[in-house]
Structure 1
Amino acid sequence: MTSLVIAEHDHASIKGATLNTVTAAAQLGGDVHVLVAGHNAKAAAEAAAKIAGVAKVIHADAAGLEHGLAENVAAQVLALVQGGAGNYSHILFPATASGKNVAPRVAAKLDVAQISDITKVVSADTFERPIYAGNAIATVQSADKVKVLTVRTTGFDPAPATGGSAAVESAAAAADSGKSSFVGSEIAKNDRPDLTAAKIIVSGGRALGSSEKFNEVMTPLADKLGAAIGASRAAVDAGYAPNDLQVGQTGKIVAPQLYIAAGISGAIQHLAGMKDSKVIVAINKDPEAPIFSVADYGLEADLFVAVPELVKAL
């Protein structure tokens, strides 16, 4: 039994989500292969070879793979699987925007069911995944010959990025499908850690009242802690914070070492996105706020008083 992990990378290095996905693949038993599909991505392939637990890295290099277009990456995965090169029993993608874009195409072409957002490997054919915004856990068993999985990265510890010595094997690149083309990208630059990779996150909610207050209260705390800044959906919808800061079921799923929620009541969709955090601190003046049900430490206080005092103490 061999599993194939589809790596996310920037052509020079491997992204963290891949390490969590390798851990999930290792729990299936058997060998773990990693596909690095890109253009001039030799450095990323070499980095993948150093991941502990990886038996082989397959490097496919072509101009059509440079931007990770879903049609082309899916075709590359199918070329490996249907070509019988690895006789793969499982194909795993990180449950990120990229993984969710490619995985359904692969599952459809293989005529199998996709099992999405797994958080636990029970056995080689049985997995757990959250449903109803995480309020229930479904145990899903698959009889498909090839199992296509997306992995919720917060459910698995990252595999060590060093310590491995896998062989790197070149594979013939699939032809460009011609169905889509890369036009350009506008990437927001941020000096803070990325939300999904940050070890500390401070999040603000609707109680902050305005974007000015959001920045005035949350930024000094984030600066002191070297933290990423997050926001509840209510705060984002009200215009207090940009969309890319939203934490929750319809935002980003995070699991930092420390999560501080200020003025966030704790709606189900928000809790679904952060309840796997190692330590949760809630600051809210409403003693009945649902956020306190998942918090390790709760402070019933006015955030406009408590947060500045916390910054001073730090």
Structure 2
Amino acid sequence: MSTLIIADHDLGVLSPATARVIHAVAELGPIEVLVLGQDTTAVAAEAAKLAGVTKVIVAHSAGTADGDVQVIETLAPRYTYLVQSAGSVGKDRMPRLAARLDLMPVTDIVGILGPTRFTRPIYAGNALQTVTDNQPQHILTIRASAFRAAAGGNDSPIEAIDVPVISAAKLIAQHRTESNTPDLATAQIVVGGGVALGYSENFKLIEQLAKKLGAAIGATRAAVDAGYAPNDWQVGQTGKIIAPDLYIAIGISGALQHLAGIQGAKKIVAINSDPEAPLVKLADVALIGDLFEIIPQLIAELEKAGVNR
């Protein structure tokens, strides 16, 4: 049995999610990593250093999902497992691949119990389902936040291949939100804001606190829908699933959809004026009061303590 992991990368940097996926599937057999894209020399070199990787394959890609899937489909007969993280790209790409190979994908995996048995959340994360996949090949998406990252120190070979692709789609442009904060899906500390902040200017308080802690910034769907925060900050069932060491929830009541996205958090601090809010009851530490008074005090205390990442 062998495994092909499709690497996640952006702006010439390998995503931390890839190292977590590699660790997740380490027991399934030899691992090869496929790097798709253009100018991916540095990404391939990063992937080659991860423990457990036996080879890195580099293939040119025009950046369209259809073209990428054609490359993976060409390589697919060599592997028992075809795997990517359950991020936005993996959620788009892997179901397309499954359709072309006439296979049923197993998605959002948070536990691997054996070669054909996997655990995934259902009912907005309120229950875990064990799935037995008896197909000859397995297409998997892994919830990267549920696993720790593979170690480094490896030096696996890198092979460049050329796969002809015929695609009706063409990448015209990319639009992105620039940020110097850690990746939300894999950050160790996340500061999240809710609709109680009132308007987008107040999210600067969240950004100030996050900067002091070296944290990523999250938001509820209600805050995103109201225009207070960009879409890529959204945490929850319809946003990003996170599992930080520390989650600081500010002005967040704790709707079911949001709780589904933070169940992997090891410690939760809730700052809210409502002591009966669901997230306050779930939190390890709760600060009850006006967030516009508490947050500046927290920032001031961090400055006094010399915390400035």
Q: TM-score, normalised by structure 1?
A: 0.90
Match of 1:37 in 2: 36
Match of 1:234 in 2: 222
Match of 1:203 in 2: 192
Report Cα offsets for 1:194-243 as digits up to 9, x if no partner.
Answer: 3224332211112222223333x323322322322221112222222222
- 1:127 shift after superposition: 0.4
CA distance in 1, matches of 2:18, 2:180: 23
CA distance in 2, matches of 1:91, 1:42: 22
- Whether contact under 8 Å (1:11, 1:44) holds in the other structure is no
Paired residues, number: 302
Match of 1:9 in 2: 9
- Whether contact under 8 Å (2:250, 2:271) holds in the other structure is yes
Aligned ranges 1:220-299 → 2 under 5 Å: 220-299=208-287
- Whether contact under 8 Å (2:90, 2:141) holds in the other structure is yes
Match of 1:27 in 2: 27
- Residue ranges of structure 2 left out of the alignment (5+ in a row): 303-309
> Helix, strand or coil: the match of 1:56?
strand
Report Cα offsets for 1:108-133 as digits up to 9, x if no partner.
Answer: 12111000100000111010001111
Corresponding letter in the other structure for 1:26: A
- 1:181 maps to 2:170: yes
Match of 1:105 in 2: 96
Distance 1:11 1:193, change over 3 A: closer
- 1:32 shift after superposition: 0.9
CA distance in 1, matches of 2:292, 2:103: 52
- 1:178 shift after superposition: 2.3
Match of 1:170 in 2: 160
- 1:101 shift after superposition: 1.4
Corresponding letter in the other structure for 1:213: N
Q: Between the two proteins, what is the percent identity of the paired residues?
A: 46
- Whether contact under 8 Å (1:23, 1:159) holds in the other structure is yes
Q: TM-score, normalised by structure 2?
A: 0.92
- Whether contact under 8 Å (2:71, 2:165) holds in the other structure is no
Match of 1:125 in 2: 116
- 1:98 shift after superposition: 1.1
- 1:11 shift after superposition: 7.2
- 1:80 maps to 2:69: no
- Whether contact under 8 Å (2:275, 2:281) holds in the other structure is no
- Whether contact under 8 Å (2:145, 2:186) holds in the other structure is no
- Residue ranges of structure 1 left out of the alignment (5+ in a row): none
Distance 1:139 1:177, change over 3 A: same
CA distance in 2, matches of 1:190, 1:289: 31
- Whether contact under 8 Å (1:248, 1:269) holds in the other structure is yes
Report Cα offsets for 1:58-102 as digits up to 9, x if no partner.
Answer: 222x3xx042x11111111111123xxx3x111111111111111
Distance 1:223 1:45, change over 3 A: closer
- Whether contact under 8 Å (2:195, 2:220) holds in the other structure is yes
Give the RMSD, CA atoms, in angstroms: 1.7
Match of 1:115 in 2: 106
- Whether contact under 8 Å (1:265, 1:290) holds in the other structure is yes
CA distance in 1, matches of 2:158, 2:229: 43
> Helix, strand or coil: the match of 2:13?
coil
Match of 1:91 in 2: 82
Worse overlay, 282-291 or 162-171: 162-171
CA distance in 2, matches of 1:32, 1:293: 43
Distance 1:309 1:42, change over 3 A: closer
- Whether contact under 8 Å (2:48, 2:158) holds in the other structure is yes
Worse overlay, 287-296 or 112-121: 287-296
